[in-house]
Structure 1
Amino acid sequence: MSSTHWYKSIILTLAATAAAFIPTAAQQQSPLNNTADGPSYSWGLVRLSVASMRAQPSHSSEQVSQALMGTPVKITRQDGGWSHVTTPDGYSGHIIDHSLQFLSDSAMARWCESPRVAVTATHEFMATDSAGHPVTDLVNGCILQILPDGTLLTPDRRRITPREKAYTMLGQWSSAPFRPQDLPRFAERFTGVVYLWGGMSGKGMDCSGLVRMAYAAQGRILPRDAWQQATQGTEITSTDSLRAGDLIFFGNPQTKRITHVAIYDRDGEYIHASQMVRRNSLRKDSPLYLPLHIITMRRTEGKSFPVGRIL
């Protein structure tokens, strides 16, 4: 399912629903009951800072992606304590049930209507309650509700005392002007962070995960995988025309299959996640040169779906 189709489905189903500020205790659902006569919920919110999405309902299965706290997911089926979900960008995988807060349609409507903030601090930090006790770690891109007194709520209603300059109101985050030159600046802040297959957070990321994080930091959303990202924007035909923030896609010169993506910075250099987040160069005379084959180069100008339309 495409992100646009899912977005329209959410709006048509939920936008007209008027509800209280926070779901009641009865509406804050417990983990899914998979018995034939048990409750069934259509929606979930990620309740951990980072939840693993796996190809199959097993801890030993490949991690295909991740979803961050506050991400709404559509529950498509359940299997032995795991939920098969679809994220707002149309990506599917299995998340273990205890990583999710399950919601009815009405409770999801309340979440969509409630004031929320996005974590915009670059690096992971520990959030605390009013007494200074640890509550949860948070990473860039997590979504939390905000109460009238400024207290923050996780999807499972744990209370957090705000940390100065760590959060931005969701509407402000998703409507800010797009600045492509800031994409490499954001990415380089993670220099040295380990490469993690399927990773999409500051704890570890793969190449397309790093690109997606950089866009999300500006309230924009790109498709998850590199080959999908290569369908966005307009093509650049010469490396001489590259500008900061353009995307470079590498791959197999025979099959033209895209296997890697990087964010261009300046002077022939780009930032990418390969072994770790690092800087390399397109120039053969540079000590940072890597012999990678370019398949295509793209410039999006931020014409991807604004995060605020989906979350």
Structure 2
Amino acid sequence: MYGICNLSIVPLRAAPSDSSEMVSQILFGEFFTILEQQKYWSKIRLASDDFEGFIDHKQFEKISEDLYQKLVLDAPVYSGEFVDFITDATNNLLTIPIGSRLPFFADHHFFINSKKYNYQGKVFSNKMAKSEIIRNAFTFLNAPFLWGGKTPFGIDCSGFTQMVYKICGYKLLRDAKQQAKQGEVLSFIEESEPGDLAFFDNDEGEIIHVGIILKDYHIIHAHGKVRIDTLDHSGIFNHDLQTHTHKLRVIKKII
């Protein structure tokens, strides 16, 4: 069985309960495999990054296997406005955040099952130059930190890096420790370019944080909010707190 998100932002939870931890979010147009069905909840696996969790039955629409396979092959088109709206055939409005998927998009229209939608805003549809990663990262500047979040209204560190890379046409996995396994290792900060990723660990050596490297030894990352701090060989130096907040583990070149 398969499904697609037909609402703007839906929580993906660790367990089948509204009070369970939100481990991620599903944005409009994201589709998935239904692994298990319960009375009110379904355990799903997202097609985009294989991330798993539980979603309320009332917050998605089922699709056929044939449509799922067509979506897999469909070149992704994402909404490019900070926030915008779509309309259906009866002019009902639905707001969508940046990075929402617009299935089979053409001439400002797209479809989910037999339902036709209209979207007039900017879209992202191709792989961008590495410099565009930085430009799009600034779209999220000052977004509040939200565990499991993936939008400018609340985002976590790996959700931030994943979404920026996504709208630029590149695929990252969901969690920082998963993203740290992607790409090519760089030995020194001096070898890095703006757009590369820096990962940080805790005292046990577990990767717990990630950010996007900027020029001149700076980094943009989600810590309290999406912010810019100094990056050095020790880690992230927060000028507001006048201390290092994260310990550098590894730098990776993804593109």
Q: Give 1:127's aligned residue.
A: 86
Q: Secondary structure at the match of 2:144?
A: coil
Counterpart residue number, 1:138: 96
Give a deviation string over 1:176-229, Cα, whole Å, max 9, x none: 344222222211121111111001122211000000001101121111000010
In structure 1, runs of 5+ residues without a counterpart are 1-41, 302-311
| TM-score scaled by length of structure 1 | 0.72
For 1:248 and 1:221, the matched residues in 2 are separated by: 16
CA contact (8 A) 2:33 2:45 kept: yes
Q: CA deviation at 1:116?
A: 7.0
SS of match in other structure, 1:47 = coil
Percentage of matched positions with identical amino acids: 28
Residue 74 of structure 1: how far off its partner (Å): 0.4
Instruction: Report the CA distance between 1:282 and its aligned residue.
Output: 1.8
Q: 1:76 aligns with which of 35, 57, 62?
A: 35
Q: Is the 8 A contact 1:262 1:271 kept in 2?
A: yes
Aligned residue pairs total 249
Match of 1:104 among 64, 80, 88: 64
Q: Which residue number corresponds to residue 167 of structure 2?
A: 217
Higher strand share: 2
Gaps of 5+ in 2: none
Partner AA of 1:248 in structure 2:
A
Which structure: larger Rg? 1
1:9-158 equivalences under 5 Å are 42-88=1-47, 89-109=49-69, 111=71, 117-121=77-81, 123-128=82-87, 133-145=91-103, 150-154=108-112, 157=115
Alpha-carbon contact 2:108-2:120 (below 8 Å) kept: no
CA gap of 1:74–1:130, structure 2 versus 1, over 3 A, is closer
Residues 1:202 and 2:160 aligned together: no
Task: Summarize the Cα distance change of 1:286–1:150 in structure 2 as closer, same or farther, 3 Å threshold.
Answer: closer
The answer as to 2:246 corresponding to 1:287 is: no
Q: Secondary structure at the residue paired with 2:17?
A: coil
Contact 2:86/2:117, CA 8 A, preserved across alignment:
no
CA distance in 1, matches of 2:138, 2:174: 20
Choose from 139, 142, 146 the match for 1:192: 142
In 2, Cα distance between the equivalents of 1:154 and 1:128?
Answer: 12
> Could you tell me how far apart the structure 2 residues matched to 1:285 and 1:75 are?
43
Q: CA deviation at 1:59?
A: 0.7
Q: Aligned in 2, Cα 1:148/1:50: closer, same or farther, shift over 3 Å?
A: closer
2:225 aligns with 276
